[in-house]
Structure 1
Amino acid sequence: MRYLISFCGLLLVFGLALLMSKNKKEIKYKNILMMLIIQFLLAAFLLNTKFGYILIKGITKVFDHLLSYANTGISFVFGGLANKGETPFFLSVLLPIIFVSVLIGILQHFKILPFFMKWIGLFLSKLNGMGKLESYNAVASAMVGQSEVFITVKKQLDKLTPQRMYTLCASAMSTVSMAVVGAYMTMIEPKYVVTAIVLNLFGGFIIVSIINPYRVKESEDILTIEDEHKQSFFQMLGEYIMDGFKVAIIVGAMLIGFVALMDMINSLFDIVFGISFQGILGYIFAPIAFLMGVPWADAISAGGIMATKLVTNEFVAMINLGEVAKSMSAHSVGIISVFLVSFANFSSIGIIAGAVKGLSEKQGNIVARFGLKLLYGATLVSILTATIVGFVI
């Protein structure tokens, strides 16, 4: 029965995507079917096989070591600040982002990341039937972040059509950057973080291919990656350290604001209506959670967490999931965990539009105009990934 429900969830995702499609004749159904099959195979491999278990364990150990190295620096600066037995969220989850940012900078500086991003992107372009630039951008977004990725292709931005810009932005919103992966792994099970990152990559191509189908002429399918201005190694280190610190501070500030605001709104709704705001959102999103494979007993709680992620960000939603996870089934927690691993929320619209506008005012204005459609598509990617995971766990 649950497989039938999840199948209905898949039909819902594709139906909602088709509803927004303006050029159904250009949809490449063969490529979409191929990528959907790959998603199922990857989900089954990562979550249900011994090799998948070993792979995820290996990745988890790498990030555990990175976080332990990061904690060495954090303890040196903030040692004694935390009470014994307590670890403040800012110190344990956000500040390690600085160290991961430094590692990304080193891999960028020595041209290791650009090499992998370019060739993986070229391989994916053969699979998804999209342009080389679109495929590269999806991989690069997962490596360097949703705003920084546009710097690497800034020479081509002004030449892109609105359709291609939508694809680039949707990829950036559907994925998460490596800088915050370690933070996620301290809040939800690492196997769901890894699975979501891989599946979202293909899910982004699938949803965009339906909502925003187009053909790229061979003469236009040119990938030009912008080299960063030449810096010395230590200049680069300083820049990436500060970039990581800015991300940690910005996320921390957003959490303070959003968590406090959500608590106030919940209290007001509770006084006026006898139910919290998140409780109301839970009822609204519960049917979607149910079709994703969440049992109805957990659907309202799951729906509230999904809605929280949409209107605030994934960190706030992960905190909420941690508070109620013990009262939910492991199956429900797995599905919702995967749903939360993306940048699909309202604040990302402003982040992406601002990043593009800083490089090209014309394209920034175009991105701002299709902001809600962008969020719509990225949210469908999260639902698609969660539904597939609901099938295999």
Structure 2
Amino acid sequence: MKYLIAVLGLVIVLFLAFIVSNNKKQIKVLPIIYMIVIQVVLALFLLHTQIGLVLIKGFSDVFNALLEYANEGVSFVFGGIANKGQAPFFLTVLLPIVFISVLIGILQYIKVLPLIMRGIGYVLNLISRRGKLESYNAVASAIVGQSEVFITVKKQLGKIPANRLYTLCASAMSTVSMSIVGAYMTMIEPKYVVTALFLNMFGGFIISAIINPYTVDPKEDILEVENEAKQSFFEMLGEYIMDGFKVAITVAAMLIGFVALIAAINHIFDAVLGISFQQLLGYIFSPIAFIMGVPWSEAVQAGGIMATKLVSNEFVAMTDLVKIQHAFSSRTLGIISVFLVSFANFSSIGIIAGAVKGLNENQGNVVARFGLKLLYGATLVSILNGVIVSFVL
């Protein structure tokens, strides 16, 4: 039965992408089938093979070690503030982002990350046939972040047509930044975070290949990556430390605002209608949760978590998931966890449009115009990933 629902879910997701396609006749079916098969194989490999589990454990151990190192710095500055036995979210989950941001900066400085991004992007392009620029961008988005990635391709930003720009933005919104992966791993199981990272790259191309199909002229398929201005090693360290701190503070501010707002809205809805806002959203999103493979008995609560991510962000949704995870089966927990690992939410429209506008005003206006369609596609990517995982759980 679970396979029947998974197939139904896959068909529905692809159909929802198809009905908003810019050019239905130009959709290339074969690469889409290849990428779906690769997604299933990847999910199976990572979640059900000994080698896959070893890789995930290794990945998790690395981030656990990084979080421990980060905690040394946090404890030095903030030690004694927390009550004994308590672990404030800001100190244990958000501030370690600063240290991970520094490591990314070092790897960028010594030219290791650009090499990795180009290499994986080359392989991804052979499979997806979406273009060198698009493939590089998909990988770079997962490493440097949804706004910072556009800095690396700013040489070409003004020359990119709207259809290719949509694909770049869709990749940025459909993935997550490596700097906050460690924070996710403190809230949901690392194996689902790692699985989602891989599925996001292919899922973004699958959905954008349907919504926004096009063929790249080989003569125009040139990748020009911007090299950062030459800095000393310690200048770079200072910049990435401050960048990481800004991310931590920004996420903290978003959490304060969104959690407080949702609590207020829940109270108002409960007083007026006798049902909380999240419960209402849960009923609306429950059919989507069901086609992702969530049992109907758990679909309303799961739908509420999914909706929370869409209207606020993944951090708020993950904190809510942690509170009620005991109410879900392990299979549902895996499906929802994979769904949550992406930047697909309303605030990301402003973040991406603002990042592009800061580099090229005209292109920023283009992004703002297709913002809702961008979110629609990125949300379908998250749903698709949940469906793919339901095949193997």
- TM tier, smaller: over 0.9
Quote the Cα distance in structure 1 between the aligned partners of 2:85 and 2:386: 35
The SS at the match of 2:231 is: coil
Quote the Cα distance in structure 1 between the aligned partners of 2:176 and 2:227: 22
Q: Is the 8 A contact 1:163 1:212 kept in 2?
A: yes
Q: How do 1:136-285 residues align onto structure 2 when only pairs under 5 Å count?
A: 136-285=136-285
Quote the Cα distance in structure 2 between the aligned partners of 1:356 and 1:283: 36
Question: What's the offset of the Cα at 1:5?
Answer: 1.1
In structure 1, the partner of 2:5 is 5
Runs of 4+, deviation exceeding 3 Å = none
Quote the Cα distance in structure 1 between the aligned partners of 2:15 and 2:216: 25
Question: What's the offset of the Cα at 1:6?
Answer: 1.4
Question: What's the offset of the Cα at 1:367?
Answer: 0.0
The SS at the match of 2:19 is: helix
2:110 paired with 1:110:
yes
Question: What's the offset of the Cα at 1:255?
Answer: 0.1
2:320 paired with 1:320:
yes
The SS at the match of 1:20 is: coil
Paired letter, 1:47: L
Paired letter, 2:318: M
Question: Can you list the C-alpha shifts for 1:226-245, whole angstroms capped at 9, x where unaligned?
Answer: 00111000000000000000
In structure 1, the partner of 2:131 is 131
Quote the Cα distance in structure 2 between the aligned partners of 1:124 and 1:26: 20
Q: Is the 8 A contact 1:154 1:359 kept in 2?
A: yes
Paired letter, 1:134: E
Q: Is the 8 A contact 1:20 1:211 kept in 2?
A: yes
Question: What's the offset of the Cα at 1:148?
Answer: 0.2
Q: Is the 8 A contact 1:28 1:129 kept in 2?
A: no
Question: Can you list the C-alpha shifts for 1:260-307, whole angstroms capped at 9, x where unaligned?
Answer: 000000000000000000000000000000010001111000000000
What is the aligned-residue identity percentage?
70
Over aligned residue pairs, what C-alpha RMSD do you find?
0.5
Paired letter, 1:178: M
Aligned length: 393
TM-score normalised by length of structure 1: 1.00
In structure 2, the partner of 1:382 is 382
In structure 1, the partner of 2:83 is 83
Paired letter, 1:156: Q
Paired letter, 1:12: I
In structure 2, the partner of 1:296 is 296
Quote the Cα distance in structure 2 between the aligned partners of 1:247 and 1:87: 20
In structure 2, the partner of 1:37 is 37
In structure 1, the partner of 2:52 is 52
Question: What's the offset of the Cα at 1:385?
Answer: 0.4
Q: Is the 8 A contact 1:336 1:386 kept in 2?
A: yes
Question: What's the offset of the Cα at 1:7?
Answer: 1.0
Quote the Cα distance in structure 1 between the aligned partners of 2:262 and 2:283: 17
Question: Can you list the C-alpha shifts for 1:186-241, whole angstroms capped at 9, x where unaligned?
Answer: 00000000000101110001000000000111111000000011100000000000
In structure 2, the partner of 1:93 is 93
Q: Which has the larger displacement, 118-127 or 266-275? A: 118-127
Quote the Cα distance in structure 2 between the aligned partners of 1:108 and 1:41: 31
Question: Can you list the C-alpha shifts for 1:68-118, whole angstroms capped at 9, x where unaligned?
Answer: 000000000000111111000000000000000000000000110001101
Paired letter, 2:227: D
